[in-house]
Amino acid sequence: MSAAVVFALAAAMVSSAAGEPDPPPADKAAVAAPPADKPPEKAEDKTEEDRTVSDVEVVGERQAVVKEIDRQVYDVRKDPEAQSASVNDILGKIPSVTVTPSGGVLLLGQSGVTILVDGKPGSTRALRGADIERIEVMTNPSAQYGPRGTAGIINIVTRKDRRQGQTGAMTGSIDSLGGGRVSLAPNWVMGRWVFGANIGLGRQSFESGWRSVRRQDDGAGGLVTIREAGRSDYGTDDLQGGFKLTFRRNDRQSFYVSAQGFKADGDSDGRERASGDGAAFDDYVRRSRGPNSYSALNLNAGYDWTGKTEGETFGLSFSASPSTNLYGETVNEDFDDPALPDGRYRQLSDNDSNALELKADYKRPLSGDRILSVGAAWNREDETQRQFYETLTAPDPLRDLDRSIHGVRDVEAAYVTYQFPFATWTFMPGLRVEAEQFEVRSGGAFGGADDVFWYPSLHVSRDFGEAYKLTLSYSRRIDRPDLGQLDPVIRYDSTTAASRGNPGLDPVTTDAWEARFDYSKGSFNLGLTLYDREASGTFSSRSVLRPDGVRLSTWVNSGESANRGAELSVRGALASQWSYVATTNLFWREQQVLDGGIPSTDSQFTYSGNAQLSWKATPAKPDSGDQVQLGLRYLGPSKSFQGESDGFLRADLTWKRPFTKKLTGTLSFSDIVDSSEQHNSLRADGYEQESTYWGVGPTVRFTLSYRFGAP
């Protein structure tokens, strides 16, 4: 199905369903204007419920879904798990989004998703569901946003409380794995000053396991079958905290500065047993233990200005996001054969990075419902990776390694979008230009780039009466390789497995076409999206078995790939107390695979989606009665360059009960059908492997939340 066919089919479908468009109101401005005897509200007098959501103003209680020309906006504050869930738990309920059991995030079934926090890059590890106000999903973003992330962008907008006086929340939770968390988030509004803070302390405990069967060359023209099974236990303690200070100089100007930090320290303890069916393989038991730590800091400062013209805005912001990720372990290999010396080695992986961004955005409404948006940005990514591997029993010059790689990427960007009406349609073309300078050093420079890239976008929409809406869009996006994918040095994960990057790896470019049809009547909403994504230079990992028995994985560009499909999303009420949301995505994937070591084109039909069924005891006052929600998410099987993975079906159940107006309890049953077990197959050069992995599995969590201050 070509992109042109997608657009033509969608336009024909809507025209036949909707017929002639309804005439618009005679005077929309008059409908929205306040009575003559009532002065207009000042921006600072509005409550958060009345404020503008991007370009759409909603008076009263905010709609659950707001459809804009380049995004879908979902209000998640009323979700039963809003006070207790993780970011991934909340994302897993959003249409078009799939969260895998391992924590990966997909959009329309495709990886390569950019996640932003308040429009800027930042870590989500310190965020909880209670911090999130709304989620903006852009499966085909406009030129306003950077092109990284071939699948699209998810922007998480955090809560902002403007009520005078002191407000806030205290939360505590425990789970069946022995973990728990306590947090405090106070907020003060004193005249033109707004100060918010948060601090939290948590403990996580979880385990994972695996088993595999591998058949590989024995070096003498035969095959050896190797069976492996293992288990790892993890424990992590984390501390997070931050603040945001805002000064509203007047009704149109405000300054802000914020900081958010996160630090986690943990340890892992693993055990693995491997045995082979021939003399070419030596059975062993491998034990590993080691520390791991992660720390991140997000610093932000900015200035926001609102012009005298309604809708005119200017924003200037600067952010810095340093982070450190450290993983180490000491490994003992004890062979069953007493004649063989036991193996000892240790390894350390250290990643230090810092991302800087300076950004300016200006939007001005013009006459005739025209809107001009322009902006510029400078981004710098400075990253250093260190890999240390040392054989403790005897030095091994072929494996021992102490090496660092350093990369700096600078991107200067400018964009313009222009929204204007034409006949009964609204058009928003856009263009983004980025100049990239990239240099990688590992002792000496071995790679780099200095290029200029052009990223066009186009969004077109039309309302067919009050119930029907059609949106057509196109964008070009890119995924650039990271340092680990570029470093050509072999890095050992164990004595039998290693990996290396590819300094010749090219970026992945994607052309994305979409046609979306929306229908709304009362509480019922239906959305149908037809899409076509064509990618060039797809990243794939290629594995081979070396003559010394080491399995080596290398990144390559595996050629062209395509994702074409349709997503149907429905939302509505079954009765006064029951509501539902259901999304299913059926898509056809075409990609390059290795068949007997020879590249060929393969296609596959698969699916993804999620659904929630909710019950509220008092629908008119959802915060005053019990709420129950059953959630499902699913993903079909998928193929890769050299293998296949099965899908999963996950079910979660949540019960929320307000004990008082300010005290609420939430009981969550996560993964009640135990979807954590995943099966994968790999057909590499020299070996084949069937593997099964499992993770945390079913979990029970209880959370108490107390809100203080003005209701």
Q: What is the pLDDT of residue 285?
A: 95
The CATH number of the domain where 645 resides is what?
2.40.170.20
Q: What is the pLDDT of residue 162?
A: 64
CA atoms in the 13 A half-sphere facing the CB of 579: 21
**Gyration radius from the chain CA atoms:** 27
Alpha carbon of 55 to those of 51, 64, 144, 706: distances in Å?
10, 16, 14, 33
- What is the DSSP code (8-state) at residue 28? H
Report the alpha-carbon distance of residue 589 to residue 332 in Å, rounded. Answer: 43
Q: What is the pLDDT of residue 446?
A: 63
Report the alpha-carbon distance of residue 58 to residue 311 in Å, rounded. Answer: 14
Taking only the tens place, the pLDDT of each residue in 365-385 is 999 899 999 999 999 999 999
For every residue of 103-114, DSSP letters joined together read: S-EEETTB--EE
Q: What is the pLDDT of residue 31?
A: 33
Q: What is the pLDDT of residue 396?
A: 84
Residue with tokens 């009532």: 38
Spell out the residues 6+ positions from residue 704 whose beta carbon is closer than 8 angstroms to its own: 171, 172, 173, 663, 664, 665
- DSSP-H helix ranges across 53-135: 87-91
Report the alpha-carbon distance of residue 290 to residue 270 in Å, rounded. Answer: 9
Q: What is the pLDDT of residue 321?
A: 93
Residue 376 phi, psi (nearest 5): -145, 155
Low-confidence residues of the chain, pLDDT below 70?
A: 1-62, 83-84, 161-163, 443-447, 622-623, 710-711
DSSP strand pairing (113-117 vs 152-158)? parallel
Q: Which two tokens stand for residue 211?
A: 């088993």
Helix, strand, coil percent values for the chain (each to nearest 5): 5, 65, 30
Say if residues 665 and 628 touch (Cβ distance below 8 Å).
no
Q: What is the pLDDT of residue 186?
A: 92
Q: How many domains, the chain?
A: 1
Say if residues 563 and 578 touch (Cβ distance below 8 Å).
no
Say if residues 483 and 534 touch (Cβ distance below 8 Å).
no
Residue with tokens 């790679």: 447
Amino acid at 561: S
Q: What is the pLDDT of residue 242?
A: 93
Say if residues 170 and 198 touch (Cβ distance below 8 Å).
no
pTM equals 0.84
Residue with tokens 């993983």: 327
Q: Which two tokens stand for residue 621?
A: 């006052």
Say if residues 588 and 564 touch (Cβ distance below 8 Å).
yes
Q: Which two tokens stand for residue 528?
A: 């149908």
Q: What is the pLDDT of residue 710?
A: 67
Report the alpha-carbon distance of residue 196 to residue 705 in Å, rounded. Answer: 18
CA atoms in the 13 A half-sphere facing the CB of 481: 27
Alpha carbon of 79 to those of 129, 185, 654: distances in Å?
9, 19, 10
Q: What is the pLDDT of residue 624?
A: 76
Say if residues 640 and 680 touch (Cβ distance below 8 Å).
no
Range of 267's domain?
3-709
CA atoms in the 13 A half-sphere facing the CB of 507: 17
